[in-house]
Amino acid sequence: MDLDKIRHSASHILAYAVRKIYPDVKLGMGPAIEDGFYYDFDNLSIKEEDLTKIEEAMKAIIKGNHKFNFKRITRKEAQSLFRDQEYKLELLKDLKDDEISIYQSGDFIDLCKGPHVNSTSEIRSFKLLRIAGAYWKGNSNNKMLTRIYGTAFDSEKELRKYMNMLEEAEKRNHIKLGKELELFTINELVGKGLPIWLPRGQFIRNKIENFAVEIEDKNGYLRVTTPHIAKKELFIKSGHLPHYENTMYPKMKMDDGEYYLKAMNCPFHHLVFNHTVRSYRDMPVKIAEYGTVYRNELSGVLTGLLRVRMLSMNDAHIYCTREQIPEEIKNIINMIDEYYKIFRLKDYYFRLSLWDQNNKTKYINEPENWKYTEDELRNVLKKLKVKFVEAKDEAAFYGPKIDIQFKNVYGREETVSTIQLDFATKTRFNLRYFDSNGNQNNDVFVIHRAPLSCHERFIAFLIENYSGKFPLWLNPLQIKILTISENNIKYAQEIKKKLEENNFIVELDDRDESIGKKIVDAHKLYPNYMIIIGDKEVKSKTIAVRDRTNKTKFNVKLDKFTKDLLKEIKEKR
């Protein structure tokens, strides 16, 4: 059976049940989504524990075997029918006269175009999952409604499989592990979507950034630092105002003009390119920055590190000639592929994100440039023989892009990396170089690329992908030393000092606790190795090493252990 029909019908039954229990509720909308369904309600104050009561009411409706009856009605009939439902009346305004229809099941009627299953009894396996807040129509200027999420499947077996997946995903949830491993915190005094990196999380950030800088240095990137704010005129020139204004923070009025927090680095980099005279011998010019940018995301969509308001971007812009586009795009894709191998990220695919010529407000209206740049990206992907799909109306306003798509631990699709081909900036910023004939050439294309996304999103993916068990080179706690008794503390301190001289991150647990308790506590922090020191180790001047598989090697020489670990870090295993 069609899952979308099942889930859409389940959302209808959810609204039916909520109306039965809470008669004064105001109905919003309730679509099927990728992994289930939701329905938005106003004038509804409930807690998670109330979901069980709503589920029971849904089961009673399902048991009643009510038919889903479709009917076309006039606007006047709809206005009368939903006269007490302000949100339905607002939705009605967006419909043409020949688009107005209702579905009725039992004594419940909803403004809906369908499709639905034939009868409520066909909804066999469903589960309500959680409650969230959501602005009406996703607009922060509108009222915050109560959203109830659920999921539904064609069989109990499929539902159990999904619920088991959610249970396993929760164990790997980056918000949960980030708290347990003390990687980051989000404090209400600072605000939603503004993570504070704790020392262990900052260690991971530094390692990733240093690695990326090392790779980019080898590939000819030039590093810069640009301000966090700029005048309104810069963003007008770049086209981000008005195209991007809804995701930028409100302007700040200063004594010398109006300023915005930067939501992107590219306009600054265009100024860097234009700062000096460029020759064809310089092309391509690659300008890189781990720049922090700020996005005015709605509070309802902020999720741990995946959706934030402050992002530290692995950002760079490549200024190249028309002829250099294919090679540079190929080089970036190869770089991304190499990164993913090192970080052990798998099961991704490429999405060629195209414009929609009918969406005049979102995109620059230059059909010839859109065709040329889209063809360029498509040809590179084909030559590289990578798996890709095409998605209309997903491009940047200035050009098409290649997005690299993953599914997170909850099965939801996320964009991790992006490559964008910009044909508009050369005109807006008068980008130019002197060609081999000594003439000024304005045919400069800009490739925007972020292979490692932003620190926030990328580290969220790593936390969940590794289940918190980071490889040695990335782990903010590489070795935990445990003593069996107080007689072993002095030798353990000597071991710790020697390891730290080789720049390992080491902690010593010399508490007056049993070794079993110390091992259990250490496991919670996922060190790569535990070193256990007892009387035998003190006497033989060796160490006992326990790895993550819980295998323990005795009589290990510290020099040999150190040498092996340095090799493991160097090879990023």
User: How far apart are the C-alpha atoms of 424 and 364, rounded to whole Å?
Assistant: 8
**Cα–Cα distance for residue pair 16/185, rounded to 1 Å:** 39
Q: Which structure tokens are listed for 435?
A: 């060609």
Structure tokens at 99: 């688009």
8 Å CB contact between 424 and 366: yes
For position 539, what pLDDT does the model report? 94
C-beta neighbour count of 41 within 10 angstroms: 24
Amino acid identity for residue 123 in this structure: I
Q: Phi and psi (nearest 5°) for 437? A: -95, 0
**What pLDDT does residue 302 have?**
83
Write the Ramachandran bin of 235: left for phi over 0, alpha for psi from -120 to 50, otherwise beta: alpha
**First-to-last C-alpha distance (Å) of the chain:** 45
* Cβ–Cβ under 8 Å, residues 520 and 176: no
In this structure, which long-range contacts are made by residues 430-439, counting pairs with CB atoms below 8 Å and at least 24 apart in sequence? 430/274, 431/270, 431/273, 431/274, 431/319, 432/278, 433/278, 433/279, 433/280, 433/282, 433/283, 434/277, 434/278, 434/279, 434/280, 435/280, 436/280
Q: Is 169 exposed, middle or buried (0-12, 13-18, 19+ CB in 10 A)?
A: middle
Q: CB–CB of 448/418 below 8 Å?
A: yes
- Spatial CA neighbour of 460 closest among 235, 175, 234: 175
- Which whole-number Å values give the CA distances from 368 to 138, 424, 450, in the listed order? 34, 12, 26
Strand partners, 450: 418
Q: What amino acid is encoded at 379 in this protein?
A: N
Query: At which residue do the structure tokens 């998605």 appear?
Result: 391
Give pLDDT, residue 542. Answer: 96
Amino acid identity at 9: S
Q: 403: which strand partners? A: 351, 418
Q: pLDDT at position 268, please? A: 97
Q: Which amino acid is present at 346?
A: K
pLDDT of residue 1: 64
Task: Assign 1 to helix, strand or coil.
Answer: coil
To the question of pTM greater than 0.75 for the whole model, the response is: yes
Answer for the pair 185, 78: CB distance below 8 angstroms, yes or no.
Answer: no
Q: One-letter amino acid identity for 458?
A: F
Contacts of 3 (CB under 8 A, 6+ apart): 32, 152, 153, 154
Q: Is 169 helix (H, G, I), strand (E, B) or coil?
A: helix
Cα 290 from Cα 167, distance rounded (Å): 35
- pLDDT value for 291: 87
Give 167-228 as a DSSP string: HHHHHH-HHHHHHHTT-EE--TTT-TT-PEEPHHHHHHHHHHHHHHHHHHHHTT-EE----S
SS3 sequence of 349-371:
EEEEECCCCCCCCCCCCCHHHHH
Q: Concatenated DSSP letters for 408-473?
A: -TTS-EEEEEEEEEESSHHHHTT--EE-TTS-EE---EEEEEETT-BHHHHHHHHHHHHTT---GG
C-alpha radius of gyration, the chain, whole number: 29
The domains of the chain, with CATH numbers, are 3-158 (3.30.980.10), 180-466 (3.30.930.10), 472-570 (3.40.50.800)
- Kindly report the number of other CB atoms within 10 A of residue 201's CB atom: 22
Q: Is 305 exposed, middle or buried (0-12, 13-18, 19+ CB in 10 A)?
A: buried
Give the separation between CA 174 and CA 195, rounded to whole angstroms: 13
Residues 262, 211, 264: CA angle, nearest 5 degrees: 10
Alpha helices in 438-557 (DSSP H): 455-466, 489-501, 515-523, 535-540
Block means of pLDDT (10 residues each) for the chain, 573 residues, are 90 96 95 93 94 96 94 94 94 91 93 92 94 86 93 94 92 95 95 95 96 95 97 94 89 95 96 96 96 88 90 95 96 94 90 91 90 96 93 92 89 88 95 94 96 93 94 97 95 97 96 95 95 96 94 95 96 90
State the Cα–Cα distance between residues 220 and 241, nearest whole angstrom: 32
Can you list the positions of beta strands (E) in 43-85?
69-72
